[in-house]
Chains A and B, each alone.
Chain A
Amino acid sequence: MIGQGVIGQAISRTDGPIKVTGRAAYSAERQDAGPTLHGYILGAGIGKGRVARIDIAAAEAAPGVRLVWTHENAPEQGPAEGIEGDMMDRTRPELASDRINYYGMPIAFVVAESFEEARAAAGLITVEYEVEAGAFALDGFGPNLNWRRPSQAGDIDKAMREGPVTVEQTYSTPYHFSQPMELHACIADWRDGHLHLYLTAQMVNQLTTGLGKTLRLDPSAISIDSAYVGGGFGSKIVLHCEAVLASLATMALGQPVKLMLTRRQIFTLVGHRPASISRVRLAATPDGRLTALGHDALIQVRTDDAWDEGVSSVGKALYASPNRLTRQAHQALDVQPGEPVRGPGELPGLMVLESAMDELAEKLGIDPVELRLRNDTQIDPDKRLPLSGRRLADCLREGAEQFGWCDRPTIPASRRDGRWLVGYGVASSMRGHYQTSAEVLVRIEPDGLVIVRSDMTDIGTGTHTIVAQVVAEALGVPMSQIKVELAHTKHPKGNGAGGSWGAANTTVAADRACAALRQRIAAVAGTSYNDIFAEVRRHFPDGLEERGRTLDNKDDPNYQTHAQYTYGASFAEVGVDIDTGEVRLRRMLGVFAAGRILNAKTARSQLIGGMIWGVSAALQEAGALDPRHGHWVNGDFAEYLIPTHADIPAIDAIMLEDFDDKANHLGVKGIGELGAGGTGGSVANAVYNATGVRVRDFPITLAKLLPGLPGR
């Protein structure tokens, strides 16, 4: 694949062959450190309180055991830090006190010669607890709430009073877990005063600050290598206990230590998407112009770690309304800290808001697509800036056409296909476009190889491939002569994979590095050369390298003049079993406008994957927290349901030809969250259309549908 026109093409992943043959080594599979010792964590068996007594004698005496740590004998670490400042930079001391702040919190750590020995020894530790009453249930809106993130215009209370058509409803969304297929894992190898980590992480350089402070090491003494990452979805962004404990152990023992969390531990030792309760208020004129849009959200947090899931934020800029109020309040519970989970804020937020829009459309007697079109805007209602790339209407129109929306049953519960009640639903998607400062190095070797270096990770996002495509186009060299080296702290720092910003950051910086290289070559060879490698050989016999950089949003003038988002519309057809209430997706289409698409194949895959997250958020996923003990009742893959093959029919995603010149010079934005965005809402609305039953407490399960289902 040579030169122009490489960007955007549906090129197969360059790391495909090693992944499909099992040759890609994920963190716990790395052999770089040689044979390792094995760690195992014992988690607290209560939700809140303290360790009154812990006896490790039997564990210490067990075969193969090399160390057993509790709060009584663990190495001293940097103290826990407050919630001010960047969550990425905080310390994460483990086994630092007798306090138990959440169920499953590490209270002991065993290292042994084998995994079997470590796990068995952990089982020999006896613990006595002092149990304290914890707060484990989200109550709902109480009085005296401390409202945060308010975005306001006009007088929403007045507009709601005046109507004339209003919707005011309460919705709730549950805890979600990212649960990537690769278990969180770390091999730590302390060697000659340097700490080498093979860690499953979405960002690498970012982790060295907090880890360094925790371990009392200079960040420069820490290397992190995350060459292959088996999915992240937000759960591998912040520092977790596996990195800290494996590091402490290798530093104490002088031998490499491997620590892989168990699947059940990932439900407690890695954060979740907080549960939320929303009150949505909408008012409209009879012809469907919104006069009020309100979204109050109550978000679960921890007192000492306020990950603020932005459930209400999507209402700021999705539709125009003269009277508007979005805000959120917190309720602190005694569970582990919340963390980013794919589609933070907008996945639950859009599911709620777009359900309410569907309720309004029905009250108005206006087609749900039409209602959304009537409230489109070109000005960001919150920032009061022009919106760049605002193509929500295009997505809705194209989707309606391609999906056959005109065939939608206009009366709920009116269409049958055998035992199935059939319904259609639509919802809008939106996701902010973010860019941060990032640097990428591109080096041309005289022998005919281009090397790209960045600490960006490829968590299944296709980064290896899209970066090579951009560089191939920029330098006019074949993909086969480009080597993309990622995911190591030794490479130039970007912002990793997360928040849908990795693709734009990395490719824009890579393209700028290529531009600088072309300039350097042009300065000595002109611009009409045929073989870039020949020119490099002639003029730069040692090779030639340049670094390209992107600006952080706050330094980017375009970001001050234009509000930047990506957009989409999703259309779902579901069947609901008239007897049992089982819901099955029948087909689904997403249409997206997300800037220039770098690779039509990998982008489509990622969007479809995101859409399936929306499907399962609407129908299946919900972390169940025991309100008495504070533990996750359904903390495994048999009980926390994510979709299987059988749940997912053919799904398609259409990417509109797009280019957002305000985002960056490549016109590129992110797509990682966008697919998940409003998809849940389209499924929820399709269920209502099929059954006439509106479930406002997600997910929509058969038990909630049954009471309202029509008879046979």
Chain B
Amino acid sequence: MKPFSYERAASPAEAVEAAVARPGARFIAGGTNLLDLMKLGIEAPQHLIDVNRLWLDTIEPTAEGGLRIGALVRNADLAADRRVRRDYAVLARALVSGASGQLRNKATTAGNLMQRTRCPYFYNTDMPCNKRRPGSGCAAIGGLTHNLAVLGVSDACIATHPSDMCVALRALDASVETVGVGGRTRSIPIADFHRLPGDRPDIETALEPGELITAVTLPAPLGGVQLYRKVRERASYAFANVTVALVAREGQMVRLAFGGLAAKPWRVEVAEGGADPDLAADLALAGATPTEDNAYKLPLARRTLKATLAQATEVRS
């Protein structure tokens, strides 16, 4: 871990200002992903801006009937919030299927959005990786790809996005609120927040330099039965092979997103609205480019969707 200087920001504006002023600066909140990557030399910020004391840790109702979740709300607190449990169950369920109790106590909403891939070749600094060193190549392609992406991949990168929370946010049409240089605020639809790798897999989000996430906004509740099914190779504390976030009403798939399949939460809007999970899977998984190692993810995603929809129907009845 390279040496870095450290400061505690007192306001979002101050944090943004510091980030712009200091080359190689990074925000740190929970630190559960960033510090791990720093120890391995994957991230090497020269300056850390501790944003934990910015008072962005409340969950407030919005005028539109939704919720505004502060960037620093911890994953455990978000899952435990009464309104989230009642109105956004898919989000609560996604949150608690990720990581461990200890990590969820520390990890923040914004940090979860910024989580980087667990691709084992990204994690090994002896291997070329276009995310770590743009243009160096991708060691994962042609390697062991059991848990790498089958959709939205490029010749430069086949990493998967590791977050569960983001899959639920994508299904719920959340938006990400930020403050940037000069105090400029904007709201980024979650669909546009994470990027597919293309030829620049190192650019993972729509954030601009110095831009700070201040909140995540959820639209008014969708109702329906909300489920999050995570398939993994041990019962807990493991990254997903495939996940399904589903909001169903009267047997219809109102919202549907997949995790574990791509570099971002995978949602194909035209696959939604029907009651036939096979048709939905055909539409959602079209264009997949699996390897021999990860081809299992396609039938697994289809079967998991069917099972989740069946479960939603049982819950209703």
User: Which residues of B sit under 8 angstroms from A707, Cβ to Cβ?
Assistant: 299
Q: How far is the CA of A646 from the CA of B236 in the complex (A)?
A: 6
> Which residue on A lies nearest to B41, using beta carbons?
A123
B184 at the interface (CB under 8 A from A): no
| A706–B304 CB distance below 8 A | no
B126 pairs with A45, CB closer than 8 A: yes
Binds B, one of A378-386, A630-638, A677-685: A630-638
In the assembled complex, which residues on chain A have CB atoms less than 8 Å from the CB atom of B283?
none
Q: In the bound complex, how far is the Cα of B37 from the Cα of A583, in angstroms?
A: 32
Question: Which residue of chain B has its CB nearest to the CB of A123?
Answer: B41
- Which residues in A have their C-beta under 8 angstroms from that of B310? 712
Candidates B1, B2, B238, B300; contact of A580 at CB < 8 Å: B300
Contacting pair B144 A633 (CB below 8 A): yes
In the complex, are the beta carbons of B236 and A712 less than 8 A apart? no
CA distance A582 to B234 in the complex (A): 8
Chain B interface helix/strand/loop/mixed: loop
Query: Which chain A residues lie closer than 8 Å to B83 at the CB level?
Result: none
Q: For the complex, is B106 an interface residue (Cβ under 8 Å from A)?
A: no
Decide if A216 is an interface residue (CB 8 Å cutoff).
no
Tell whether, in the assembled complex, residue A703 and residue B146 are in contact, meaning their CB atoms are under 8 Å apart.
yes
State in angstroms the CA–CA spacing of A45 and B125 once bound together.
8
**Whole-angstrom CA separation of A582 from B236 in the bound complex:** 12
Quick check: B139 and A644 within 8 Å, CB to CB? no
Residues of A within 8 A of B65 (CB): none
Task: List residues of chain B with CB within 8 A of the CB of A229.
Answer: none
> Is there contact, CB below 8 Å, between A123 and B2?
yes
Enumerate chain A residues within 8 angstroms of B125, measured Cβ to Cβ: 45
Residues of B within 8 Å of A626, CB to CB, are 143-144
Shortest Cβ gap from A193 to chain B (Å): 37
In the bound assembly, the distance between CA atoms of A151 and B171 in angstroms comes to 62
**Interface contact B1-A629, CB-CB below 8 Å:** no
Contact A641 B238 (CB under 8 A): yes
Q: Is the CB of B306 within 8 A of A643?
A: no
| Residue of A120, A419, A579, A645 touching B1 (CB-CB under 8 A) | A120
What is the CA–CA distance of A712 and B308 in the complex, to the nearest angstrom?
12
* B241 pairs with A702, CB closer than 8 A: yes
B234 and A643 form a contact (CB under 8 A): yes
Of A584, A631, A703, which is in contact with the most chain B CB atoms at under 10 Å from its CB? Answer: A703
Residue of A nearest to B124 (CB): A631
B143 touches A706 (CB 8 A): no
**At the interface, yes or no: A116 with Cβ under 8 Å from chain B?**
yes
Give the CA-CA distance A643 to B242 in the complex, in Å: 20
Choose from A579, A584, A620 the contact partner of B303 (Cβ within 8 Å): A579
Quote the shortest CB–CB distance from A450 to chain B (angstroms).
43
Confirm or deny: B287 has a beta carbon within 8 angstroms of a beta carbon on chain A: no
Q: What per-residue 1/0 map shows which CB atoms of A615-643 lie under 8 Å from chain B?
A: 00001100010101101011010110101
Using Cβ atoms and an 8 Å threshold, which residues of chain B touch A371?
none
Please indicate the chain A residues that have their CB under 8 angstroms from the CB of B220 in the complex: none
Check B237 for interface membership: any CB of A closer than 8 A.
yes
Flag if B144 contacts A624 (CB, 8 Å). yes
Whether A327 sits at the interface, judged by CB under 8 Å, is no
Q: Residue-by-residue, is A683-707 near B (CB-CB < 8 Å gives 1, otherwise 0)? A: 0000000000000000001110011
Residue of A nearest to B293 (CB): A703
Whole-angstrom distance between the alpha carbons of A261 and B234 in the complex? 26
Contacts of B233 on A, CB cut-off 8 Å?
A: 582, 619-620, 641, 701-702
| Cβ-neighbour of B307 out of A123, A579, A636, A639 (below 8 A) | A579
Residues of A contacting B296 with CB < 8 Å?
702-703, 706
Q: Is B13 on the interface with A (CB-CB < 8 A)?
A: no
| Interface residue? A433 (CB, 8 A) | no
CB of B134 closer than 8 Å to a CB of A: no
Chain A residue nearest to B235 (CB atoms) is A646
Please give, as numbers and ranges, the residues of chain A lying within 8 Å of B241 by CB-CB distance: 702-703
Is B239 interfacial (CB 8 A cutoff)? yes
Q: Which residues of B contact A645 (CB under 8 A)?
A: 236
In angstroms, Cα B2 to Cα A103, docked, is 24
State the CA gap A631–B121 with chains docked (Å): 10
Q: In the assembly, what is the distance between CA of A639 and CA of B3, in Å? A: 28
Contact A582 B1 (CB under 8 A): no
Q: Give A644-687 as 1s and 0s: 1 = Cβ < 8 Å from B's Cβ atoms.
A: 11110000000000000000000000000000000000000000
B118 touches A638 (CB 8 A): yes
Q: Which of the residues A580, A581, A634, A644 comes within 8 Å of B235, measured between beta carbons?
A: A644
Whether B143 and A628, one on each chain, are in contact in the complex, defined by CB atoms closer than 8 angstroms, is yes
A72–B29 Cα gap in the complex (Å)?
A: 43
Decide if B124 touches A706 in the complex (CB within 8 Å).
no
Contact B303 A580 (CB under 8 A): yes
Closest to A585 in B: B235
Selected from A45, A123, A643, A706, the residue in CB contact (under 8 A) with B300 is: A706
Q: Is the CB of B307 within 8 A of A419?
A: yes
Q: Is A477 an interface residue (CB 8 A)?
A: no
A119: Cβ under 8 A from any B Cβ: yes
List, in ascending order, chain A residues with CB within 8 A of B237's CB.
644, 646
Q: Which residues in B have their C-beta under 8 angstroms from that of A103?
A: 126
In Å, the complex CA distance between A123 and B43 comes to 12
Within 8 A of A (CB), among B16-45: 39-41
Chain B residues whose C-beta falls within 8 Å of the C-beta of A646 in the assembled complex: 234-237
In angstroms, Cα B311 to Cα A58, docked, is: 60
Chain A, residues 582-595, CB within 8 Å of chain B (1/0): the string is 10100000000000
Contact residues in A for B39 (Cβ distance below 8 Å): 119
Cβ contact within 8 Å between B304 and A633: no
Question: Is A185 an interface residue when CB atoms closer than 8 A count as contact?
Answer: no
Is B231 part of the binding interface, using a Cβ–Cβ cutoff of 8 Å?
Answer: yes
B234 and A634 contact, CB distance less than 8 A: no
Q: Taking the complex as formed, is A203 at the interface, i.e. its CB lies under 8 A from any CB of chain B?
A: no
Kindly list chain A residues whose C-beta atoms are within 8 Å of the C-beta of B235.
584, 644, 646-647
Evaluate contact between A647 and B236: CB separation under 8 angstroms: yes
Question: Restricting to B272-317, which residues have a CB under 8 Å from any CB of A?
Answer: 296, 299-300, 303-304, 306-307, 310
Does any Cβ of A come within 8 Å of B96's Cβ? no
How many whole Å from B85's CB to the nearest CB in chain A?
21
Q: Is A314 at the interface (CB under 8 A from chain B)?
A: no
CA distance A629 to B140 in the complex (A): 11
A580 B307 Cβ-Cβ under 8 A: yes
List the B residue with the shortest CB-CB distance to A647.
B235
- Would you call A110 an interface residue if the criterion is a C-beta within 8 Å of the partner chain's C-beta atoms? no
Assess whether A582 is in contact with B232, with CB atoms less than 8 Å apart.
Answer: yes
For the complex, is A317 an interface residue (Cβ under 8 Å from B)? no
Q: Mark B219-243, 1 if CB is under 8 A from A, else 0.
A: 0000000000001111111110110
Closest to B302 in A: A579
Task: Tell yes or no: B142 within 8 A of A by CB.
Answer: yes
B114: min CB distance to chain A, Å:
18
> Taking CB as reference atom, which chain B residue is nearest A641?
B234
Inter-chain CA distance A478–B235, complex, in Å, is: 45
Binary CB contact string for chain B from 112 to 145 against chain A (1 if under 8 A, 0 otherwise)? 0000001011011111000000000001001110
CA distance A712 to B2 in the complex (A): 53
Inter-chain CA distance A636–B37, complex, in Å, is: 13
Is A46 an interface residue, CB under 8 A from the partner?
yes
Which A36-52 residues sit within 8 Å CB-CB of chain B? 45-46
A264 to B123, CA, bound (A): 11
B123 partner residues in chain A, CB cutoff 8 A = 636
Across-interface contacts of B139 in A (CB, < 8 A): 629
Which of A120, A628, A629 is in CB contact (< 8 Å) with B3? A120
Expressed in whole angstroms, the Cα–Cα distance for A634 and B233 within the complex equals 14
Residues A579 and B143 in contact in the complex (CB < 8 Å), given A634-B120, A641-B238: no
- Are the C-beta atoms of B234 and A620 separated by less than 8 Å? yes
17 extra interchain contacts, Cβ-Cβ under 8 A, other than A579-B307, A706-B296, A712-B306?
A63-B3, A123-B2, A581-B300, A582-B231, A619-B233, A624-B146, A626-B143, A629-B127, A629-B139, A629-B143, A633-B144, A638-B238, A644-B235, A644-B236, A646-B234, A647-B235, A703-B241
The 8 closest A-B pairs by CB, nearest first: A45-B126, A579-B307, A646-B235, A646-B236, A703-B296, A647-B235, A580-B231, A579-B303
Binding site for A on B (CB under 8 A): 1-3, 39-41, 118, 120-121, 123-127, 139, 142-144, 146, 231-239, 241-242, 296, 299-300, 303-304, 306-307, 310
CB<8 Å pairs between A and B, sample of 7: A45-B126, A63-B3, A123-B41, A580-B303, A629-B143, A702-B300, A703-B146
